[in-house]
Structure 1
Amino acid sequence: MFDGIKILNADADIQKLMYSSVLDWNSVVNDGTGEVVGRTAEYNNLTLTIKEETSLVKVTGSLHKYANAGIHNADDFTPERLAGVLDSIQKLGIGINSALNNLEFGVNIETPFPPAKLLERLICHQRREFTRHVSKGFEYYQCEHERQFVVKIYDKGRQFGLRSNLLRFEIKVLTMQVLHKKGIGIYTLSDLLNQKLYPKIGNLLIQCFNEILFDEPTIDTTNLSKKDSDLLINGRNHKFWRPFSESNFETKQKYDTARKMRYRQEKRFRQMIDSSPTAERLHKLAAELIATKWEILSNPIVPLLHYTLNVEMGQSIIPTAKECPITGIDISDQKGSSRYLSERTLKSDPELLKSLPVTIGQQRRRKHHHPEEYYVAHNIRNAASNPRNSIKRRIERAVKNTPLFQADEVIRLTDEQKKILQSVPSNVPRNKKPR
């Protein structure tokens, strides 16, 4: 989930920091004058810097690595572990009301294919190219968006010498307004514990991944028309998708025409990639795993009810007793076995229905005429069950298409996929097993 942070002006107790038994402070000296201009200390991958003149405290580093004594961030980082990290940071002298300036969030997913196989198919994100970087012996790919945010993807297993196929996908927010414009109210460290925001953050992560343009090298161009074949060949080069500059066109009309043409070309390129009978569609599988992993991490089996974090103002951060994992809305008043926002609740609260995103109620079945709350509740449940059903359909197709082999010889499920299949939908009675 959450990983790297940057705080330029922390709400800190400097005396507490300076006399902490776990912090080893070093002086920062001006090379020209020899004057001490600040002090710095590192602890569990967090770097703390105090400027001598202004007494400003800067904090940078990884919350996830902090939870692992600063060693790695290759495991799962749940809200429960995050709460423990914030508690520890607060004891050092860094207040959790400190305003965030940068924030990284993402997931590690175990893939049934080597991550390098997907990485070599990267083309661009929102028509901006991915650049390859090498740091401390491992490579990663990132796409920078004009000092707003960075999309980053790499082989996490290779970074830490793991045997498993572990792919890391994350977004680094360089200005918090990127989140605020999306209705994600993260301003301070304490906001990271607001589980009502997790569905929106997860949706942003998944949307960002789905915007990436991937190549599909298995497509045979001999059966394509010349127009499609040329588009496929040209589209595999990131330079083909570079954004247009209006200054390069004689008129705005020609500029708009070129943009519309490029939009149609991208749509057609994606259709060829996704519909080819020889396509492996690794990016589709990765997208499903990312969505599933975020849901698992943001809805831990053990809730945070037992954990209370004291804020300097004398308040407490205590998660809602029972929330819908998709919308983050309190459903404590619904019957005990319900897990998602129900049709009955929506019927009784018209204002709540109006406040939900329009996209939740868009998918409707043809020839069916139900009230709006029916479709909204139905689609909320589908958002949770679709990853499980998708894996089931993939297994059924594999078994059907390979009748000469045993199922376990042709199917390899990750631990995450096994957990999804073993999960029981909330609408299944306890004395029955799901089909």
Structure 2
Amino acid sequence: MMDGIESNHIAVNESDLIQRLNMSLLFSPTYGDVRHDLSLAPYNYKGMHISSRRRNQSNLDSDQHWFQMRGSLIKVANNGLHNCDPKDPIQLLYALDDLITNVRLDPFKTPLNGFELSATVRLTDAEQICSGIVSYLNIPPSHKTIHRDSLDLPYVEIEAKQHKLKLYAPQPDTLRIEVKIDKMQFLGADRPRTLADLVQPRFTALLVSKLLSALDKIIWKYSPTDVSRLTQEESQLYLLGRVSEYWQVIRRNFTTESEFKRVEKQRSRERKRYNELVRRLWQGESPETVRQRTYVQLKRYEEIMRTPLYQTLLNICYQRWRYVGNLPGVVRLPKHLKLPDLSEIYPLYLGKFPTPSESPYCYIGQPGSSVDQTANLFSENTPLFQVNEVIDPARMCLRSLKQTQLNKFPKSQARCGFTNYSTHVKKVLNSPGGLNYPLDEVERILSATTKISLAYASQSLNNLRIITYSSLNALPLFSAA
């Protein structure tokens, strides 16, 4: 649901960032000394642009630059290749973790100055939807095209006061709906304020409502309509409603307040009739279809964020981010905070990630793929899981699999490693003699993989403990005389 993010002042350690990203310092061509009065050369990390600004200060002992960041989280998830496909919240969480732990910024102190809400749905005629917009918030659209792979794809943008609404085709047979937030006040007082807030489930309902509300405020038209088939009243209303200026009721154009209110109420009544008329006339994939598919995708997104697996991953990431925020110069993260590869998280990854061409297990849509071509992210019956990174098939236990075992893989082999971890924890908890430590203390020292394995099985340490003990205090070996 998120794509672009923007921060005007990211919280980083300047010297560590310059060294880590190898950002070029500018030198004087005459004397060869460092030009502290100039900005550093910009850096691109997987599609995320990081640039610097020179501080206006004379104290050379303190930080000389402050840094800005803007770019696409989806592009980071795709290793900087593109941002054409949607991502589920776990993939975006991993992308944000990738950015934070490699750039070593502090997400809890990095403010959000803007970001994009997005949904990408399958649509065979995106051109019809983009050309069918009359206005949004009484603002007429600006029509353009984007050039992708020798194709001119439709693009429409409407700029409001604090945000922009964009509808375009990032690739053939798809439609992306974006709300680009330029002023954070657009979201109200209870809004995400830092980079770490973006992945908090408590803000999801607000962001979903904003995106769906934007679709509801569009006035549409259906161009191929033959008005001769309409009644005279319907024909007149439709011809008037196709023009964006008809819906713009502005106070300064009226001499009296009462006349302004009368026309405003009249337009409100007419808009309901007009919308119903457009809905009845539209052939094929209509705006209602777009809204329904968007709703299904966003609700699925919201449901994933409420799962124990996502919450466990979020807690682990928060620990990792606090670590790198406090120790930006550390070489590597502690082993117990190491996240498993994204390919190990999903039980439905088989056939949904690209593998070497000689492997029989191919990415959906590629020649040789044995997976149903229609089972993809855009299907309403398919979970919101997809990945585009190259995965080693051997690590995913694919070597020993035969073609006939394809359908058994997702629920058996993908969870094999996590099941082993939870089984080991269960044996330790129920070993003879017992574990004489409170379970809340044991939970703190578990590795990230063990915590994820418990979340996969929807288990807790209390559930795994079979043997109960009446007291944690050991009996004395010898009684007092």
TM-score in terms of structure 2 length? 0.59
**1:58 is matched by which residue type in structure 2?**
Q
Tell me: CA distance 1:195–1:224, structure 2 relative to 1, closer, same or farther (3 Å): same
Structure 2 distance, partners of 1:417, 1:85, is 21
Matched, 1:168 2:139: no
Shift, 1:153, TM fit: 0.3
Partner in structure 2 of residue 285 of structure 1? 289
Shift, 1:114, TM fit: 2.0
Tell me: CA distance 1:313–1:416, structure 2 relative to 1, closer, same or farther (3 Å): closer
Q: Deviations over 1:222-258 (max 9, x none)?
A: 34332321110121122322x2321221111111112
What secondary structure is seen at the aligned counterpart in 2 of 1:16?
Answer: helix
Contact persistence 1:8–1:101 (CA under 8 A): yes
Contact persistence 2:5–2:115 (CA under 8 A): yes
Partner in structure 1 of residue 74 of structure 2? 64
Which protein has the larger Cα radius of gyration, Structure 1 or Structure 2?
2
What secondary structure is seen at the aligned counterpart in 1 of 2:159?
Answer: strand
Q: Deviations over 1:105-129 (max 9, x none)?
A: 1111112x22112222121112211
Q: Pick one of 99, 103, 106 that aligns with 1:89.
A: 99
Matched, 1:118 2:129: yes
What secondary structure is seen at the aligned counterpart in 1 of 2:82?
Answer: coil
Partner in structure 1 of residue 2 of structure 2? 2
Q: Pick one of 146, 152, 157 that aligns with 2:171.
A: 157
Count of residue pairs brought into register by the alignment = 311
Partner in structure 1 of residue 44 of structure 2? 42
Taking the TM superposition and a 5 Å limit, the aligned residue runs for 1:225-244 are 225-241=231-247, 243-244=248-249
Structure 2 distance, partners of 1:210, 1:192, is 24
Shift, 1:172, TM fit: 0.3
The alignment-based identity, stated in percent, is 18
Q: Pick one of 63, 68, 74 that aligns with 2:84.
A: 74
Contact persistence 2:75–2:81 (CA under 8 A): yes
Structure 1 distance, partners of 2:269, 2:202, is 37
CA RMSD, 1 decimal? 3.0
Contact persistence 2:126–2:154 (CA under 8 A): no
Partner in structure 2 of residue 195 of structure 1? 201
Contact persistence 1:122–1:213 (CA under 8 A): yes
Q: Deviations over 1:315-354 (max 9, x none)?
A: 99xxxxxxxxxxxxxxxxxxxxxxxxxxxxxxxxxxxxxx
Partner in structure 2 of residue 384 of structure 1? none
Shift, 1:28, TM fit: 11
Structure 1 spans left out of the alignment, 5+ residues: 159-164, 317-411, 424-435
Structure 2 spans left out of the alignment, 5+ residues: 29-34, 57-64, 326-372, 385-481
Partner in structure 1 of residue 350 of structure 2? none
Partner in structure 1 of residue 277 of structure 2? 272
What secondary structure is seen at the aligned counterpart in 1 of 2:83?
Answer: coil
Q: Pick one of 297, 301, 304 that aligns with 1:297.
A: 301
Structure 2 distance, partners of 1:299, 1:106, is 17
Tell me: CA distance 1:133–1:281, structure 2 relative to 1, closer, same or farther (3 Å): closer
What secondary structure is seen at the aligned counterpart in 2 of 1:37?
Answer: coil
Contact persistence 1:2–1:63 (CA under 8 A): yes
TM-score in terms of structure 1 length? 0.65
Structure 1 distance, partners of 2:112, 2:100, is 15
Tell me: CA distance 1:419–1:254, structure 2 relative to 1, closer, same or farther (3 Å): closer
Tell me: CA distance 1:110–1:269, structure 2 relative to 1, closer, same or farther (3 Å): same
Tell me: CA distance 1:222–1:126, structure 2 relative to 1, closer, same or farther (3 Å): same
